[in-house]
Each structure stands twice: as structure tokens, then as C-alpha cells.
Amino acid sequence: MTRRTLFGNLARGLGGLALGSLLPSSLLRGNGDAGLGRLPHFAPKAKRIIYLFQSGGPSHIDLFDFKPEMRALHGVELPDSVRGGQRVTGMTARQDSYPFVAPFWEFKRCGQQGTWISDLLPYTQKVADEITILRGMNTEAINHDPAVTYINTGSQQMGHASLGSWLSYGLGSANQDLPAYMVLLSQGSGKNPGQPLFSRLWGNGYLPSNYQGVKLGSGADPVYFLQNPPGLDRAQRRQALDRLEALNRVHADEVGDPEIHARIDAYEMAYRMQTSVPELMDLKDEPASTFELYGEESRRPGSFAANCLLARRMAEKGVRFVQLFHRGWDQHKKLSAQLPKQCKDIDQASAALVMDLKRRGLLDETLVIWGGEFGRTAYSQGKLGDPVAGRDHHGRCFSIWMAGGGIKRGFDWGRTDEWGYNILEGGVHIRDLNATLLHCMGIDHERFTFKFRGLNQRLTGVEEARVVKEILA
């Protein structure tokens, strides 16, 4: 043994001992499916979350935040007192005029609450008594990538763990044959292509890598490199994994790196997924009535409707967090032509998911969220009345809806001004939203931390965040 080898091995041994004294024992054992053991902090209202993320920024003005007086304001210049020197994007910063644009479509009062919902969403109108609409959502971010990163990870900066990864880390999986966090992507009929989505949005950040989301594709092989290569059968794969695990555990004992255990967990999960994923993706056992409920598009792999149906199947199998990213909501131009198409993509399937979960007895324990990273401006981007005009990004207020596990039914929260531009009451920052989601899963966001770079990292960050108790059942 050379002197360099001696000191190298000695350093790794001491480093492993030091690391072992700092890390939770569950990480060193590679027990990735069990969660932290000490969670939840209190009895949860929901066992799982299905997040229908609408990437691009749906127009709250045209979908959920209607007031009859808006019709009389159409074409009126938005007062400086309303804009309040707001920072806007470079796409409208140089406009000479900011005329208010009333909603393009009619609205109806729906459900016992009489909540306003656009006629672009006729199926959502029918489930008004099952959902809570939050009209006071807000964020500081005004561009897509930082805004999507912010609402999904709690920070506008890259490198932080996503909501699904946090839940996977804290609560583990309820199904040993499927990941705790699964992701599905779809492209809408509005703006095509939509804004790009990066894997860090469902990434683990500083958490161990076995807590990252697993993205499923819509092709014959929904998980890349999952199947055995030609000439290798399942028994041979099992033998190879056993030998590889033995080598990895020897290496882990030497260096004490928890990522080695994460790699072992990943290999084992991939092996189990070779049978569980094909079964999950095979819709042949679904009756015709299911496809009628979700719409004909649910028969097309990769569509939003098909992904909603898969999300229900994942909920049945105990997947902790399912996230659907649907692109195409970025209507800077041609809003009058694009928005109806985009709404048609999602309306029937979103409502069907809520109804399907309810009729199967799963809605009370499944929290469903529908919403994007911000809203759209009340003023026109482009010349008023021009068919190519649209709406710019707007983070001061926007709307989302929630249903199921722990959330009130048929309820509205938050109110904006007559312009749909500023919040008057019931403001909910995206940090508050994430704190509320964790609360519904039985987790106190202030006590749910991970030590990284000398800080106790939290999904809700270091700034103030509160649980929105007003919307809780």
C-alpha cells in the first residue's frame, strides 16, 4: 500500500464516520420507502395529492375572477393608481396605453355558493359544489421559469427540492412497487409549443436522489431504459442486481455516502417497476363509461385527459404525489382563439377526475389542485380589439381551485378589485399554498426541514408563510 492510498482510505473512513453521525439512520440504511418515521406531525386530512399544473399562466380574468361591473370598464385606461408602478415584463413595458379588457366570454353562477365560472369551463361549472376557488393567489415572479420554479420548489433559484420530493422524503411511499412521486406531461392546443419544462421542477434538489419525481412518457416504454436488453431475462437481471448491490454496500460502508444507498434503492425500484408500470399504463381494463366520463381524448396516450385517468389509477395504487404538467397557457397573442382550445383540453378531464375520485370513495383522502404559476393582466397586450392581442403575465393576483382531502366544498376565498388587478382581501401567497398542502398531509411546514449548507432548508423558505385555515374543512 502506498502512502497516498493509506491516507486516502484513512480520510474516507473518518469522513464516513463523521457523515454517519450527522445523517438520519434511515438514509444510511437506504430505507427510501419508509419516509422519516416521525411524520406526519399530526393526523392528516389527505393521503395523497394530485396536482394539475397548468403551465403558462391561465387567465383568471377570463376563467374565474368575474364581476359584472367589468363589462362597463372595457376599453377604459387602467388608472396609474391601480397599476401602482408595478414591474411588468418587457413585452408590455413600452406600451403607450393599458386599456382594460373585459372577459371575452360569458360567466355563470354555479353551485349552491353561486360562484362565477366561465362558460369556457362547462364541466368545471358542474363540480362547483366540490371545489374551493382561491382568487387571491399571488407571487413576486413575473417570468415563467422563475415563477414555475418558485411555486414548485419554494424558491426562484434552481437547486431546491420540489414539493413532491419533499413529500416523498417525509412520508415515503404507500406502494413499494411504484415511486412515491410520479410526473406526466402534456401539450395543450393553445400556444404550441408551450413554455419549456425542466426536470429540476420535479427534482430532488439537495434531498437524496431517490426522492426525485419519476417522469412517465406516453410511448411504448414510459420509463426509459427500464426494460431488459435483448438476451437478458428477469432471473438474470435479478442475479446481476444482487451482485451489484453487494458491491455497492461494500463501497457504502467504506465511504458512508448516502447517495450509494439511493442508487441501490433506484435499481431495486426499477426492477419492481418492470412489472408495475406496464400494469399501471394498460387501460384495457377500464370500461367504456370511464372513457365517456373523461372524454374521447382520454384514449389518446399523452393527452391531458389520458394523464388524468392515469392519475386516478395512481391514486388507487397509493402513489403519494402525482403531478400533471400541461403546457400552452401563455396567451400573449391570439387569446380569443387560443384560450377556448386550451380550456377544451382540460375542462372535461379535470372535472371527471374529481367526480371519479368521489364515486370511488377516494376524494376525501385525495387533495386535487388545479392552477398555474401566475395569472394574466387585466389590460391588453397589443391593440385593443385586435385578434392577435392577448394578456401579459400577472403575479399580483390569480386564481386556482382545490378539491378533496381537507378542503371545503363549494367555497370561494379571496377577492380582487373591480379591475381584477389587485387583491382586496384573502390574499394567499404561493408559500401559503405550499404550507397548506403540507398541512393537509399532516406536516407542519416550519418543523419540516433538511440541513443543507448550514441552513435548515424548508419548502416554504425563510420568509413568513401561513396555513390558509379559512379554506380547510
pLDDT score of 3 more than 90: no
pLDDT at 373: 98
Residue 278: partners with Cβ closer than 8 Å, 6 or more residues away: none
pLDDT score of 11 more than 60: no
For residues 262 and 277, give the distance between their C-alpha atoms in angstroms, rounded to a whole number.
20
For residues 379 and 243, give the distance between their C-alpha atoms in angstroms, rounded to a whole number.
63
Do strands 428-429 and 131-138 pair parallel, antiparallel, or not at all (unpaired)? parallel
Report residue 124's pLDDT band, with 50, 70 and 90 as the boundaries. very high
Tell me the mean pLDDT in the region 421-446.
Answer: 98
pLDDT score of 259 more than 90: no
Burial (CB count <10 Å: 0-12, 13-18, 19+), residue 293: buried
- Please report, for the chain, the start and end positions of each structural domain, with discontinuous segments joined by +: 41-222+301-471
**Rounded to a whole number, what is the distance in angstroms from the first to the last CA of the chain?**
67
Name the one residue in this structure whose C-alpha cell is 439537495: 206
For residues 380 and 372, give the distance between their C-alpha atoms in angstroms, rounded to a whole number.
20
Tell me the mean pLDDT in the region 253-263.
Answer: 72
CA atoms within 13 A of residue 317's CA, in its CB half-sphere: 23
What digits encode the pLDDT tens for the residues 18-75?
Answer: 444 444 434 433 334 556 778 999 999 999 999 999 999 999 999 999 999 999 999 9
Instruction: List Cα–Cα distances, 277 to 73, 269, 283, 405, in angstroms.
Output: 53, 11, 12, 26
The number of beta carbons lying within 10 Å of the beta carbon of residue 333 is: 17
Residue 284: partners with Cβ closer than 8 Å, 6 or more residues away: none
Among candidates 304, 283, 314, which has minimal Cα distance to 53?
A: 304
For residues 52 and 50, give the distance between their C-alpha atoms in angstroms, rounded to a whole number.
6
User: Is CATH 3.40.50 correct for 41-222+301-471?
Assistant: no
Do strands 131-138 and 398-404 pair parallel, antiparallel, or not at all (unpaired)? antiparallel
